[in-house]
Amino acid sequence: MNQLEQLKAFTTVVADTGNFLQLAQFAPRDATTNPSLILKAVQSSDYAPLLKDTVQAHRGQPLDQIVDQVLVRFGLEILKVVPGRVSTEVDARLSFDKAATIARAHRIIGLYEAAGISRERVLIKVASTWEGIQAARELEREGIRCNLTLLFSFCQAVACGEAGVQLISPFVGRIYDWYKKSAGSAWDEASNAGVSDPGVKSVTQIFNYYKKHAIATEVMGASFRNVGQIQALAGCDLLTISPELLAQLQASEAPLQCVLDADAARAAEIAPVSYDEAGFRYALNQDAMATEKLAEGIRAFAVDAGKLDQIILGL
């Protein structure tokens, strides 16, 4: 078996792309999108007609409603290819507005349900700010499943588990990027690879904590820079992987071992942790990497959301 097939024996494989025409060749169970991936897709000649048709069908509606129609249209196309779930993201510009996040999630789910898709096949992606996590807490109580994204720290993961969210997406590659940049010329790639990669270590800590304390929230490693990071997280609940890295895994037949071990985590000594709002904000503040990458990620997604707005306005 190739490495992609081997990985699927340990971990649910998810495709991280807005390019649904690429999906079938990798046979992922689920798929994730984000504003940057959708922006990239709509600028391709393969998807420009879909964007134009969707915008024209809803011309005259407020811009934010048309944007959600576009996001859901991509999600519907993805769901024709994958047997499981699609993740659709709430506008990153609402990351600090609990009420607006909940309202946007309701609208997105409503659009999917109007198209005949049950809410069990949709994950609403929300940034892992305190407000986003509390919005997700309320949405989960309504049966709207959430994927908490832009997650870089242990305190974010703990708060998500306490909120009962369906799934979290810790960003392996962006954590790696920060530590590599911070180290500068002192960075030693070999000593920070595989299980020693700082992003891999972060996800491993979260995975072990959840399993030890029987937290049902799914852990889905995301944002990979190389296949070594993926290989070092074999055994994680899910991994969402770009088509480029899926192709690399598919091209290799080297043996792949399961690394993360839920049974070992349950037997380990790992103390429980809890955060109220003040404790969460302080813990996040104390983690320079997570603070910077969360802010940077929200800004970047907001910029791409704005670019998508302008493309839609220009049609």
Residues carrying an active site annotation: 125
Who contacts 115 (Cβ-Cβ below 8 Å, separation ≥6)? 72, 76
Q: Closest Cα partner for 43 from 31, 54, 51?
A: 51
Are residues 100 and 116 in contact, defined by beta-carbon separation less than 8 angstroms? no
SS3 for 232-280 is: CCCCCCEEEECHHHHHHHHHCCCCCCCCCCHHHHHHCCCCCCCCCHHHH
Choose among 22, 16, 15: nearest CA to 34.
16
Amino acid letter, residue 270: I
Work out whether the CA dihedral 99, 102, 105, 109 comes out positive or negative: negative
CA–centroid distance for 174 within its chain: 12
Contact 177, 303 (CB under 8 A): no
